Structure 1
Amino acid sequence: MSKAGTIRVGIGGWTFEPWRGTFFPEKWPHARELDYAASRLTAIEVNGTYYGSQKPATFAAWAKAVPDDFVFALKASRFCTNRKVLAEGEASVEKFLGQGITELGDKLGPILWQFMATKKFDPDDFGAFLALLPPERDGLKLTHVVDVRHESFQCPEFVALCRKHGVSIVHTHSDEYPQIGDASGSVSYARLMQTREEEATGYASAEIDRWVDMAKVWARGGTGDAFPLAAPADLAPDSPRNVYLFYISGAKVRAPHAAMATIAKLGA
């Protein structure tokens, strides 16, 4: 296949005190931390939108602070996903989408809908929730990804639902949460959660090589073998996908170095 999607690599957020002197220069202004991070990474997953709403002017300012090819992934509000009946979350979904996120313009990347580890897979309810996620907002195409954290989601029915609604399944590199490698929506989205402080780049160099290789497979449209499949008998057809690798959690102080090492290897 001659074409391939774009691969972007980043971290969660850009404000973390231990990054001062380890990622940011020691006396770098707090107000310019996003500028600095965006000059060395190609994407950031925003966690703050999970806890509270932002103003349209805030999203516009973020867009202005980063390079043209930079992308923000936004974690959707917890009020949408942390509920007993997901199908009743329409008002919360609308509130989240209507807070001004489209001010990011073409710098708006995937919207991450994250569920608690206690949330079990209910096909009817989960399908009703996915039906609440619109394909566009204010003329801007929306890309949705779901981060599920209960083992009951490791089943073909879940994969089929995500494919039906064009939603991507997060590939989670963690020993705490289920690992699901099936391709479903238009992007491949990996959250790499096992950075270690004793490694200068979070993951060992050979491990980062592995993520680089896997990202290239995903970008060309392949499924790869990094994660077990919930529907191994029903592989998605090969189709180029944009890829997002986020170094999240683990030894957070090492996350920027893991991302920068990955970007360097991708460009080598």
Structure 2
Amino acid sequence: MSAAAKGAIRIGIGGWVFEPWRGSFYPDGLSQKRELEYASSKLTSIEINGTYYGSQKPESFAKWREETPDGFVFSLKGSRYITNRRVLAEAGPSIEKFITGGVLELKEKLGPINWQFMPTKAFDPADFEAFLKLLPKSVDGRAIRHAVEVRHDSFRSPDFVALLREYGVAVVTAADSKYTQIADATAPFVYSRIMGTQEAEPNGYSARDLDAWAERARLWAAGEVPKDLDTVATSAGGQGGRDVFLYVISGDKIRNPAAAMALIERVGGKG
């Protein structure tokens, strides 16, 4: 596949405010208000976690957009008050409030929204499809991409994968963790969260593991599905290039920036 036909690969971390990163990732003496500027100079994306726990001001999103370089993209987690409910079909007003509450101030730097579900949330096909129908494909002319992070084994169903493909929603590929892994490609982009960093490894992962994740990212970007990840349904590889969003999350968090930077170097740098 030609380079032009491949998707973009963006790699980053969850959030940017973490005290142990000061002196390990952030240079000594760097003011806290410049941490996002610094992080975005080393990474190609960041997943905003605060949006899961509460609303953020539109001015904050605009400020974050202005503090980051051209080509940088934020993903963000959808509100837990939307996903942590018994009947997802009733989430329409809350979804509208979330989408119109300021996130569009990110403008061209708005990446996918990750709707994360509790491990106790089981797959109810009718209710989950009702939820997918509520997710807007565009707002005010700006395309909105959606991913769902499910953590109950009942979602390991071909019916679930088929639903996501019908609505063009990605399933988050969780890795190196206790959570359910579903690595099927279901959307024009891939969203992966890897969670296995170890403090004993200077770059979070061994060189071999970093090479493996970099290769998976390249395969995804080329429209393929890595053979060594656990899928549920028939492969949807060979469907054209896909944008890739890969975040180093959890694990030994102090090493996550180093792991993300090592992966960025392996897939060709920041470009």
Same fold (TM over 0.5): yes
Indicate yes or no: 2:206 matched with 1:204. yes
Percent identical? 52
Partner AA of 2:245 in structure 1? Y
Note the C-alpha offset of 1:226. Answer: 3.5
What SS is found at the alignment partner of 2:236?
A: coil
Matching residue of 1:64: 66
Q: Are the equivalent residues in 1 in contact too, given 2:161–2:184 (CA < 8 A)?
A: yes
| Cα-to-partner distance string for 1:216-264 (whole Å, 9 max, x where unaligned) | 1000100112421111x35355221000110000000000000011111
Corresponding residue pairs, total: 267
Closer, same or farther in 2 for the Cα pair 1:128/1:236, shift >3 Å?
Answer: farther
1: CA distance, partners of 2:235 / 2:74: 31
Matching residue of 2:128: 126
Closer, same or farther in 2 for the Cα pair 1:234/1:206, shift >3 Å?
Answer: closer
2: CA distance, partners of 1:258 / 1:208: 8
Partner AA of 1:263 in structure 2? I
TM-score for both structures, normalised by structure 2: 0.96
Q: Are the equivalent residues in 2 in contact too, given 1:181–1:226 (CA < 8 A)?
A: no
Matching residue of 1:136: 138
Alignment of 1:205-224 (within 5 A): 205-224=207-226
Q: Are the equivalent residues in 2 in contact too, given 1:179–1:228 (CA < 8 A)?
A: yes
Is the deviation greater in 236-245 or in 133-142? Answer: 236-245
Matching residue of 1:175: 177
| Cα-to-partner distance string for 1:194-232 (whole Å, 9 max, x where unaligned) | 11111111111110111111111000100112421111x
Matching residue of 1:27: 29
What SS is found at the alignment partner of 1:131?
A: helix
1: CA distance, partners of 2:57 / 2:15: 17
Note the C-alpha offset of 1:138. Answer: 1.6
2: CA distance, partners of 1:95 / 1:226: 39
2: CA distance, partners of 1:175 / 1:201: 18
Note the C-alpha offset of 1:119. Answer: 0.2
Note the C-alpha offset of 1:265. Answer: 1.4
RMSD: 1.0
Note the C-alpha offset of 1:95. Answer: 1.1
What SS is found at the alignment partner of 1:216?
A: helix
Matching residue of 1:11: 13
Indicate yes or no: 2:53 matched with 1:51. yes
Partner AA of 1:202 in structure 2? G
Q: Which consecutive unaligned segments of at least 5 residues does structure 2 have?
A: none
149, 160, 163: which one aligns with 1:161? 163
Is the deviation greater in 70-79 or in 217-226? Answer: 217-226
| Cα-to-partner distance string for 1:101-138 (whole Å, 9 max, x where unaligned) | 11111100010000000000000000000000010112
Q: Are the equivalent residues in 2 in contact too, given 1:11–1:247 (CA < 8 A)?
A: yes
32, 40, 43: which one aligns with 2:42? 40
Indicate yes or no: 2:104 matched with 1:111. no
Alignment of 1:213-252 (within 5 A): 213-231=215-233, 233=234, 235=236, 237-252=238-253
What SS is found at the alignment partner of 1:267?
A: coil
What SS is found at the alignment partner of 2:202?
A: coil
Q: Are the equivalent residues in 2 in contact too, given 1:135–1:142 (CA < 8 A)?
A: yes
Partner AA of 1:260 in structure 2? M
1: CA distance, partners of 2:261 / 2:176: 21
